[in-house]
Copies of this chain bind each other. A is one copy, B any other.
Amino acid sequence: MQKLGMGQAVNQALREEMHRDPNVFIAGEGVGVSIHLNPMFPTHGLLEEFGPSRIKDTPVSEAAIAGLAVGAAEAGLRPVVEIMFNPFFTLASDMIVNHAAKLRYLSGGKSAFPLVVRMKSGAGIGAGCQHSHNLEAWVAHCPGLKVVMPATAADAKGLLKSAIRDDNPVIFIEHMGLYFAPMPVPEEEYLTPMGQAEIKRPGTDVTVVTWSGMLGVAMAAAEKLAQEGVQVEIVDLRTLVPLDKETILASVAKTGRLVVLHEATRTGGFGGEIAAVVMEEGFRHLKAPLRRVTGPDIPVPASPPQERFYIPNDEQLIMAIKEII
* Chain A contact residues, CB within 8 Å of chain B: 87-88, 90-91, 93-94, 97-98, 101-102, 105-106, 128-130, 133, 135, 137-138, 140-144, 241, 243, 260, 264-265, 267-276, 278-281, 283-284, 286, 288-292, 297-299, 301
Selected contact of A138 from candidates B87, B105, B138, B265, CB within 8 Å = B138
A135 in contact with B130 given A289-B281, A299-B102 (CB within 8 Å): no
For A135, what are the chain B residues with a Cβ–Cβ distance below 8 Å? 141
A267 in contact with B281 given A87-B98, A98-B87, A272-B272 (CB within 8 Å): no
Interface of A is mostly: mixed
Q: Is the CB of A143 within 8 A of B297?
A: yes
A271 smallest CB distance to B (angstroms): 6
For A274, what are the chain B residues with a Cβ–Cβ distance below 8 Å? 272
For A284, what are the chain B residues with a Cβ–Cβ distance below 8 Å? 289
Most buried by B among A276, A290, A292: A276
For A271, what are the chain B residues with a Cβ–Cβ distance below 8 Å? 272, 276
Selected contact of A141 from candidates B91, B101, B268, B291, CB within 8 Å = B268
In the bound complex, CA of A275 to CA of B94 (Å):
29
In the bound complex, CA of A289 to CA of B252 (Å):
14
Given A268-B272, A276-B276; 4 other pairs, CB 8 A cutoff? A143-B298, A241-B267, A270-B272, A280-B291
For A299, what are the chain B residues with a Cβ–Cβ distance below 8 Å? 101-102, 105-106, 143-144
For A90, what are the chain B residues with a Cβ–Cβ distance below 8 Å? 90, 93-94, 97-98
In the bound complex, CA of A259 to CA of B105 (Å):
29
Selected contact of A289 from candidates B128, B243, B283, CB within 8 Å = B283
For A286, what are the chain B residues with a Cβ–Cβ distance below 8 Å? 279, 283
In the bound complex, CA of A130 to CA of B99 (Å):
9
Q: Is the CB of A279 within 8 A of B289?
A: yes
